[in-house]
Amino acid sequence: RARTGATRMGAGSHALVALTALVQTVQFVWATQPKGWLLRLMDREPIVFFSCFLSGVGLSMPIVVPPIRRTLGYSTSQIDGYQED
């Protein structure tokens, strides 16, 4: 069936923005922190570590979830920006 209004959004849209933010954050942390900083962070500040972990999971969700939903046959119309009939 033809979609009305908008085209299906792919990796060139919201997922690309989330992926770019994630990559830039990793590059910044990698360049500014000494070796072993992750182990020290887990040991000394577990709440901060867990918060960073959850933000990484949240940033990866727009990239990971839509393909899984399509594979399982679920609707992705709200994610893709079109209405199903």
Average pLDDT over residues 23-48: 89
The average confidence (pLDDT) of the chain is: 79
Backbone angles phi, psi at 41, to 5 degrees: -65, -45
* pLDDT number for residue 4: 52
* pLDDT number for residue 63: 80
- pLDDT at residue 54 greater than cutoff 90: yes
Task: Count the helices and strands in the chain (H runs, E runs).
Answer: 4, 0
Report which of residues 57 and 18 the model is more confident about. 57
As a whole number of angstroms, the distance between CA 38 and CA 85 comes to 48
pLDDT tens-digit profile of 6-15?
455 554 566 6
Report which of residues 22 and 30 the model is more confident about. 30
